[in-house]
């Protein structure tokens, strides 16, 4: 359940329903349809990534009055093809014109070649909105497109996916015997989700040991508990599974508890398998270690930089800190870990992160459909491009399936070793 990234959303989603007004103003809907055909002809092949539902901003309707069809493309081709289907196809009852229209719009959006820029039909939009509510029925795994394959960003803690042994980096080959090649993550999510108590079969490939497995997983209600805290000797271990509405307030309680506990000398911040969430939450938590300065930079299509700064509450800055990261750490967790690394406020241990560092705007279109568009990318304070590159650990430590089965956590053990030297 695309993260599976978690993401789980980075910026608050404010939904505006102006599409009908937009259509009245720009009534030639045929023009839009044709644009779809342009997209369909240019590049229908793109895979689409649903989740990390992060970095999603409010999107206003843009003025499209200056859009022009270029390169001599024929604006009438869509209707020409549609009319040929209507007049010549041997069984016209099998032609679903609503599906054809949605396919046209999907093709137009897919022509951008960006797995995070997505057109949602009514079914996918409903699924997306359900996920953003923080409670849904599924298996509890964030998924996305990585290197052209449907990939698990992260299994969420204490969910059917984690209990079944799903791991970050697993490639989903089939869903209930249906091949996922060319399938968008949004469609995959809609197929993996279902009623609580029902079963879904996933065929996965695990690159770490080059094994293929078929897993039958029973769906359950997924409620994300974003922050967990425990103490081991004089080390505080804080695990953040996502950056949602309650993360900041819960973290504030934990930080106050750490300050009040005079036995605690150091901190482990576990961001493994954290697919992301609200940008403001990531900045808020980074500010517990960083007194002032840039936490993350946002670069838009015009190469303009917007800097997001610390809010000034560094009550944890004097605690030696280790941050745990892995392939399932994405988006907001990459922003947080990248900032702590750049300011040398923490040592990063584990594996390179997922590399999801882009900002999406989400807009409902008034008829139950929606669109999500990438509008910018994230840079760390030192200017490292998070998108696709990810964040490198200071100390690389593997965590294998064999470790998982034996209940051994070499990454956590390394963090404890660093802090107890």
Q: Return the residue matching tokens 């997924």.
A: 222
Average pLDDT of 313-339? 95
Separation CA 348–CA 90 (nearest Å): 62
Instruction: Label residue 123 by pLDDT band (50, 70, 90).
Output: confident
Separation CA 9–CA 11 (nearest Å): 6
Does residue 123 form part of some domain?
Answer: no
Does residue 249 form part of some domain?
Answer: yes
- Do the bridges between strand 395-396 and strand 347-350 make them parallel or antiparallel, or are there none, so unpaired? parallel
Say if residue 105's pLDDT is above 80.
Answer: yes
Instruction: Label residue 307 by pLDDT band (50, 70, 90).
Output: very high
Q: How deeply is 112 buried, as exposed, middle or buried, from its count of CB atoms within 10 A (0-12, 13-18, 19+)?
A: middle
Q: Do 4 and 142 contact (CB within 8 A), yes or no?
A: yes
358-380: per-residue pLDDT in tens?
888 888 998 899 999 999 999 99
Instruction: Label residue 245 by pLDDT band (50, 70, 90).
Output: confident
28-59: per-residue pLDDT in tens?
344 444 444 444 443 333 332 223 444 444 44
**Catalytic residue flag (residue 394):** no
Find the catalytic residue in 226, 248, 342, 358: 342
What does 9-42 look like in DSSP terms, one character per residue?
A: -SS-------HHHHHHHT--HHHHHHHHHHHHHH
Does residue 102 form part of some domain?
Answer: no
57-91: per-residue pLDDT in tens?
444 444 444 445 555 566 688 888 888 988 899 99
- Do the bridges between strand 266-270 and strand 235-240 make them parallel or antiparallel, or are there none, so unpaired? parallel
Say if residue 382's pLDDT is above 70.
Answer: yes
**Catalytic residue flag (residue 329):** no
Find the catalytic residue in 331, 333, 337, 358: 331
Using CA of residue 69, residue 75, residue 81, residue 86, what is the dihedral sign? positive
Find the catalytic residue in 345, 356, 372, 414: 356
Calculate the dihedral angle through the C-alpha atoms of 227, 332, 359, 44, rounding to the nearest 10 degrees. Answer: -90
Q: For the chain, how many structural domains are there in total?
A: 1
- Do the bridges between strand 370-379 and strand 235-240 make them parallel or antiparallel, or are there none, so unpaired? unpaired
List all residues 6 or more positions away from 409 whose beta carbon is below 8 Å from its beta carbon: 399, 403
CATH assignment of the domain containing 284: 3.90.226.10
Q: In 3D, which of 243, 286, 230, 317 has the Cα closest to residue 52?
A: 243
Does residue 77 form part of some domain?
Answer: no
Say if residue 342's pLDDT is above 90.
Answer: yes
**Catalytic residue flag (residue 331):** yes
Does residue 122 form part of some domain?
Answer: no
Structural domain for 402, as ranges: 226-358+375-419
**pLDDT for res 135:** 56
Say if residue 11's pLDDT is above 50.
Answer: no
Q: Please give the structure tokens belonging to residue 101.
A: 């229209």
Residue 60: DSSP 8-state: P
Does residue 211 form part of some domain?
Answer: no
Separation CA 348–CA 334 (nearest Å): 11
Say if residue 391's pLDDT is above 50.
Answer: yes
Does residue 342 form part of some domain?
Answer: yes
Lowest mean pLDDT segment, chosen from 21-25, 144-148, 266-270: 21-25
The C-alpha R_g of the chain, in whole angstroms, comes to 23
172-226: per-residue pLDDT in tens?
999 999 999 988 887 888 899 888 899 999 999 998 888 999 999 999 988 777 8
Does residue 245 form part of some domain?
Answer: yes
């Amino acid at each position: 359940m695309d993260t599976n990234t978690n993401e789980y959303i980075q910026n608050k989603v404010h939904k505006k329903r102006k599409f009908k007004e937009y259509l009245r103003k720009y009534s030639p809907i045929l023009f839009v349809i044709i644009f779809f055909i342009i997209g369909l002809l240019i590049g229908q092949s793109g895979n689409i990534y649903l989740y990390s539902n992060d970095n999603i901003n409010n999107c206003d309707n843009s003025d499209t009055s200056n859009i022009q069809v270029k390169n001599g493309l024929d604006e009438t081709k869509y209707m020409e093809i549609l009319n040929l289907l209507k007049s010549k196809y041997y069984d016209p009852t099998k032609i679903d014109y609503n599906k054809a229209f949605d396919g046209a719009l999907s093709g137009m959006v897919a022509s951008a070649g960006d797995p995070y820029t997505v057109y949602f039909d009514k079914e996918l939009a409903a699924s997306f909105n359900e996920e953003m509510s923080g409670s849904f029925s599924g298996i509890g795994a964030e998924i996305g497109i990585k290197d052209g394959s449907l990939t698990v960003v992260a299994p969420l803690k204490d969910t059917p996916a984690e209990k079944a042994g799903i791991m970050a980096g697993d490639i989903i080959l089939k869903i209930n015997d249906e091949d996922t090649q060319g399938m968008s993550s949004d469609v995959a999510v809609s197929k993996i989700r279902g009623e609580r108590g029902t079963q879904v079969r996933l065929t996965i490939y695990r690159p770490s040991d080059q094994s293929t497995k078929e897993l039958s997983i029973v769906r359950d209600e997924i409620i994300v508990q974003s922050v967990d805290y425990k103490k081991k000797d004089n080390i505080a271990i804080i695990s953040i599974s996502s950056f949602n509405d309650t993360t900041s307030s819960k973290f504030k309680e934990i930080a106050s508890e750490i300050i009040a506990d005079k036995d605690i000398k150091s901190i482990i911040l576990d961001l493994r398998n954290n697919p992301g969430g609200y940008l403001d939450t990531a900045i808020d938590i980074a500010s517990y270690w960083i007194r002032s300065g840039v936490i993350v930079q946002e670069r838009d299509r015009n190469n303009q930089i917007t800097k997001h700064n610390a809010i000034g509450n560094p009550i944890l800055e004097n605690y030696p800190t280790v941050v745990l990261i892995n392939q399932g750490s994405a988006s907001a967790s990459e922003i947080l870990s990248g900032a702590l690394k750049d300011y040398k406020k923490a040592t990063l241990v584990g594996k390179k992160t997922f590399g999801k560092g882009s900002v999406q705007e989400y807009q409902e279109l008034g008829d139950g459909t929606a669109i999500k568009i990438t509008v910018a990318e994230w840079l760390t304070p030192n200017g490292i491009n998070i998108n696709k590159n990810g964040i490198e650990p200071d100390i690389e430590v593997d965590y294998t399936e064999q470790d998982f089965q034996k209940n051994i956590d070499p990454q956590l053990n390394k963090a404890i070793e660093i802090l107890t030297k």
